[in-house]
């Protein structure tokens, strides 16, 4: 499970999940879960069978020592439900093209979280809400999001790292999270952008909440040097022993007329730097 609480787990209908407990024991644990959700305690694992119906299924585990681990189980709408490149009226576009050299790392999303207005502010992890990962294309609800848990782990780890370096951010400002292939094409991005695979975010530190990257290096201005500094923090974090599951791309982007500078991160599984 999950070192973080709350933490989100994303599953296909009927998928069997085995969630290990870190820094705690399931002995004498108390579990609160929606009626009809199949779950079982086995050794140091919580085993869950995802329901057939897509949606949010909150689970709360209280360990014997009193610690509470909240899990938001999101059961996805299968990608097979897409018809004419739309999902329930939401424009999705064609499936991502994949990568001949890394076919396993470029698999198209198999399912999508259905987002209605009542779940926008559900915490995917302690410092990030579902709203922050939405594609920015204009549409009515429901909307749909592809996401990988590895991105949540990366973002929480990076946030702890920037806090340890003296930047009191409580979350990150977001330029872009998930993108549907349709929207990704509309903004002129490459078809194989990691954003369409659900494991990428373009972000910046915005403690003063002015919608721009903060002056991280203390030179009195918002500049590319601040972007470089944040990218170096992300690169160093990814390269640490034990962080192989969140290893991937780091990109640096300067400010434009539409937004300030930002850093791209993803968990593609191999190094990419630009």
Residue 1 has pLDDT above 90, yes or no: no
Global confidence as pTM:
0.95
Per-residue pLDDT tens digits for 122-141: 999 999 999 999 999 999 99
Quick count: other Cβ atoms within 10 Å of Cβ 218? 8
Which stretches does DSSP call E strand in the chain? 7-11, 16-20, 30-32, 38-42, 45-49, 55-62, 68-75, 77-78, 86-87, 90-91, 111-115, 123-125, 128-129, 143-145, 173-176, 200-204, 249-253, 262-266, 272-273
pLDDT for position 157: 97
CA-angle at 140, arms to 108 and 190, nearest 5°: 35
Q: What is the pLDDT of residue 13?
A: 97
Residue 2 scores a pLDDT above 60? no
pLDDT band with cut points at 50, 70 and 90 for residue 44: confident
Q: What is the rounded end-to-end Cα distance, in angstroms, of the chain?
A: 33
Q: What is the pLDDT of residues 78-129, one digit of tens each?
A: 999 999 999 999 999 999 999 999 999 999 999 999 999 999 999 999 999 9
Is pLDDT at 43 greater than 80 in this prediction?
Answer: no
Convert the pLDDT of each residue in 9-19 to its tens digit. 999 999 999 98
Average pLDDT, integer, range 42-67: 90
Cβ atoms of 140 and 114 within 8 Å: the answer is no
Instruction: Please give the mean pLDDT across all residues of the chain.
Output: 94
Q: Which residue has the tokens 């990814």?
A: 238
Better pLDDT: 121 or 256: 121
Rg (CA), the chain: 19
């Amino acid at each position: 499970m999950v070192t973080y609480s709350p933490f989100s787990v994303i599953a296909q209908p009927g998928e069997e999940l085995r969630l290990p407990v870190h820094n705690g024991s399931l002995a004498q644990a108390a579990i609160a879960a929606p009626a009809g959700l199949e779950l079982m305690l086995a050794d140091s694992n919580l085993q869950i069978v995802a329901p057939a119906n897509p949606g949010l299924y909150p689970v709360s585990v209280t360990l014997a020592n009193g610690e509470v681990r909240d899990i938001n189980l999101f059961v996805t709408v299968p990608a097979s439900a897409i018809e004419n490149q739309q999902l329930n009226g939401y424009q999705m576009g064609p499936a991502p093209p994949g990568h001949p050299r890394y076919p396993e790392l470029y698999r198209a999303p198999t399912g999508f979280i259905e987002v209605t207005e009542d779940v926008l502010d559900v915490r995917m992890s302690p410092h990030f809400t579902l709203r922050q990962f939405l594609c920015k294309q204009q549409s009515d609800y429901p909307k749909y999001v592809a996401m990988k848990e590895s991105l949540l782990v990366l973002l929480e780890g990076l946030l702890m790292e920037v806090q340890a370096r003296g930047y009191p951010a409580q979350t990150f400002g977001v330029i872009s999270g998930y993108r549907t292939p349709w929207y990704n094409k509309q903004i002129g991005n490459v078809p194989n952008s990691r954003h369409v695979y659900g494991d990428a975010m373009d972000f910046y530190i915005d403690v003063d909440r002015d919608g721009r990257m903060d002056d991280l290096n203390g030179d009195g201005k918002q500049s590319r040097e601040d972007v470089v500094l944040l990218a170096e923090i992300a690169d160093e974090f990814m390269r640490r022993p034990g962080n192989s599951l969140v290893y991937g791309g780091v990109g640096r982007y300067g400010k434009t007329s539409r937004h300030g500078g930002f850093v791209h991160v993803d968990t593609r599984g191999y190094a990419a730097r630009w």
